[in-house]
Amino acid sequence: MLSKGRPGGEIGDTNSDATQTRRLLLRWVRNPVALLETLIIPCLLLLMLDTVIGDQIRRFTGTDALDGSVPLAAVVGALSGAVASGILLGRERDAGLLARFWVLPVHRASGLASRILAEGCRILAGTLAIVLVGYALGFRFREGVWAAIGFVCVPMLFGVAFAPVVTAVAVFTAKSALVEGITILTSLMMFFSTGFVPLQAYPQWIRPVVHDQPMSTAVDTMHALAAGGPLARPLIWSLGVIVVFAVPAALGYRRASRR
């Protein structure tokens, strides 16, 4: 039950956040598209990468290809799941569900905050599933327990940073095709990243783009946490995306909820 609100009808504790987070997680679990984007496709991507190009990468670099493909699959799962969540958000807006939540005696920020919390839980579950599949294929953590925990946290940070982007697009447009179009961008980022093939395999002229693009930065960080090596830092990029898109996402969510 919702607790008694403050003047103006806002809840003073975290009950509303927990309730709405649970609602979103249950809806995603029951939605075939969300499950497909979060769990099935990333795991199939990992299997495909290891089967098709795993041996070639091992011969080319002398290292295990799974050290790059497991982080790539985890990051792709975080991004593709965010797109599926954005599509569901647009449907909730069109059905008037957001407007109904807006008049409930809950804190105005709880709707958006609960989505961020649910995103973190979704990404954690997807990352753990990918790591388990990677373990079955031979992937191992070689830098200790704390590095393994950091490995799991990187896709969460990356996905939570990307979620406001999708939210801002979903609430400012009535066309779900625009939200789905973000998938094209994430696919390009996947194919031109250091997780797909090593940086040395790309032409010289495009290597700076591949090396510095956000997905490569996240993959390189996870690679270093799992297998050692230079530790890249996606923190600044992720926080920058949150700052840039948090305000449009909040304003758009408010506008969509008051329709």
Burial of 10 (0-12, 13-18, 19+ CB in 10 A): middle
For the chain, percent of residues with pLDDT exceeding 70: 69
The residue range of the domain holding 53 is 15-257
Domain count, the chain: 1
pLDDT confidence of residue 89: 72
Are the CB atoms for 95 and 221 separated by under 8 Å? no
Task: Please report whether residue 129 resides in a domain.
Answer: yes
Are the CB atoms for 11 and 105 separated by under 8 Å? yes
Task: Please report whether residue 98 resides in a domain.
Answer: yes
Q: Say if residue 136's pLDDT is above 80.
A: yes
Among 156, 162, 140, 150, residue whose Cα is nearest residue 232: 150
Structure tokens at 122: 């979704």
pLDDT confidence of residue 30: 78
The rounded mean pLDDT for the chain is 77
Task: Please report whether residue 1 resides in a domain.
Answer: no
Are the CB atoms for 186 and 79 separated by under 8 Å? yes
Provide the sign of the torsion angle of the four alpha carbons 26, 31, 33, 39, taken in this order: positive
pLDDT confidence of residue 12: 42
Q: How far apart are CA 156 and CA 143, in angstroms?
A: 20
Task: Please report whether residue 89 resides in a domain.
Answer: yes
Q: How far apart are CA 156 and CA 150, in angstroms?
A: 10
Task: Please report whether residue 137 resides in a domain.
Answer: yes
Q: Tens of pLDDT along 64-111?
A: 889 889 999 999 888 877 777 777 776 666 666 666 666 666 665 666
Phi, psi torsion values for 144, nearest 5 degrees = 100, 175
Q: Tens of pLDDT along 223-252?
A: 888 888 777 566 676 667 667 766 766 666
Task: Please report whether residue 93 resides in a domain.
Answer: yes
Task: Please report whether residue 8 resides in a domain.
Answer: no
Task: Please report whether residue 146 resides in a domain.
Answer: yes
Q: Tens of pLDDT along 19-73?
A: 777 877 787 777 777 777 778 888 999 999 889 888 888 888 778 889 889 999 9
Q: How far apart are CA 48 and CA 133, in angstroms?
A: 12
